[in-house]
Amino acid sequence: MSQPQYSPGLEGVVAGETAISSLDGGLSYRGYSIEDLAHHASFEEVAHLLLHGDLPTAGELDDFRRRLGSQEVVPPPILETLRRIPVKVPMMDVMRTGASLLAHWDNEVADNAHDANVRKAERLLVQLPILMAARHRLVQGKEPVSADPRRSFAENLLWMLLRNQPTPQMTRAMDVSLILYAEHEFNASTFTARVIASTLSDLHSSICGAIGALKGPLHGGANERVLAILQSIGTTDKAEAWVMDALAKKQRIMGFGHRVYKDGDPRAAYVKPMCSELAAQTGNTPMEELADKVQEVVWREKKLPPNVDWPTARLYHYFGLAVELYTPLFVVARTAGWSAHVIEQLDQNRLIRPAANYTGPGKREWKAVGDRGA
């Protein structure tokens, strides 16, 4: 078999097959365009589509919601552990630990059968946000707020985090954000999950690895850094100088560029109008104008379009959410996509083990330590 060409960062390399999503001609999940799903679906319907292969019927959606609602619990010893983790530990590290802790209390952790993995995925889908919200309140010296099974997924998320009734518009914006973050083909964290699954490890281990990969600023960690950029620039009149200085220093401007989307991330285009609307309602129009100016200069200088993180960070800020929650919210949504990929990998598995080009020294003769010089 001819040796496939090497490409740094595996850019452009087809590393497997998937029926879950496609980026060709725009982003779609199992054949449904992301625009249709963001416009019409709830996150629950999209999670069902990703995990079960189809949009649910009304009865299936009720059953799915009921199953999720009945599992909205995190074992008390885990909540107790969340109290003991030092306050300075970043939320993304707590999410990684939390996924690992949840494995210890999941009776099906070692069962890699398709249906068992779907059940575990549904549990993680509701347990991880509970764990995130509980930790977020504990570090503020407040008690966790229980999930309310009568609320939708997005509404529950905001309720547990903010302890006040989110407006229907905020709930819908969160729903859309979760849908847009839910799945994205062979991105770094998803591929990490598939590699771990391909050794016949277990779903929780795959999710732990994926969380570790998503944390990086070149991937999911970018959304937290987007807000830091906007807050450090401060006002629109300083945007041009800041961008020119960053580019002159060869710095990566978080929220811009993408390995696959070179003409623009369709998710960013979808979130932007939501940002403008919410900014106007929350007195944040100056930040929107600042962001637009940064985007204009980056495009003029580097022809780099914004990716999903550039508007999403602002949207979460306008919700009043703490910046340390931004990448964990990405985890909550992407747990649906990661799990779907793990299940797909195991349904037709082959160990993922690529080759490498060797670039080290040629053959060398052994020398005892005394003969290796001073």
**Residues taking part in catalysis:** 258, 309
How far apart are CB 105 and ligand SDX at their closest, in Å? 29
Q: Order of strands across the sheet with 21-22?
A: 21-22, 28-29, 32-33
C-alpha to C-alpha distance for 107 and 78, rounded to whole angstroms: 15
Closest CB to ligand SDX among 74 and 253? 253
CB of 40 to ligand SDX, least distance (A): 21
Amino acid 307 reads: N
**Calpha distance 332→147 (Å, rounded):** 15
| Number of other CB atoms surrounding residue 6 within 10 Å | 11
Q: What is the DSSP string of 214-279?
A: HTSTTTTTHHHHHHHHHHHH-SGGGHHHHHHHHHHTT---TTB--SS-SS--HHHHHHHHHHHHHH
Measured CA distances, 161 to 121, 123, 150, 262, 292 (Å): 22, 19, 16, 35, 29
Q: How far is the CB of 348 from ligand SDX (least distance, A)?
A: 22
* Residues counted in the chain: 374
The residue (of 69 and 212) whose beta carbon lies closer to ligand SDX is 212
What b/e readout covers 99-131, taking b as 16+ CB neighbours within 10 angstroms? bebbbeebebbeebeeebbbbbbbbbbbbbbbb
User: Looking at the DSSP assignment, which residues form a beta bridge with residue 197?
Assistant: none
In whole angstroms, the minimum distance from the beta carbon of 23 to ligand SDX comes to 8
Q: Cβ atoms within 10 A of the Cβ of 317, count?
A: 22
| Separation between Cα atoms, residue 100 and residue 96, nearest integer Å | 6
What is the number of the residue whose Cβ is closest to ligand SDX?
257
- The strand ranges marked E within the chain are 21-22, 28-29, 32-33
Smallest distance from ligand SDX to CB 284, Å: 21
- How far is the C-alpha of 343 from the C-alpha of 112, rounded, in Å? 9
Q: Is there a contact between 275 and 311 (Cβ–Cβ < 8 Å)?
A: yes
For residues 137 and 334, which CB has a smaller minimum distance to ligand SDX in the complex?
334
Least distance to ligand SDX, CB of residue 139, Å: 26
Of residues 204 and 219, the one with the C-beta less far from ligand SDX: 219
CA distances (Å), origin 131, targets 29, 30, 134, 165, 233: 27, 29, 5, 20, 33
Shortest CB 103 distance to ligand SDX, Å: 23
Binding site for ligand SDX (CB under 6 A): 9, 184, 187, 218-220, 222, 252-259, 302, 304, 307-309
Specify the residue, 309 or 344, whose C-beta has the smaller distance to ligand SDX. 309
Specify the residue, 67 or 252, whose C-beta has the smaller distance to ligand SDX.
252
Which residue number, 184 or 317, has a Cβ lying nearer to ligand SDX?
184
CB atoms within 10 A of CB 224: 25
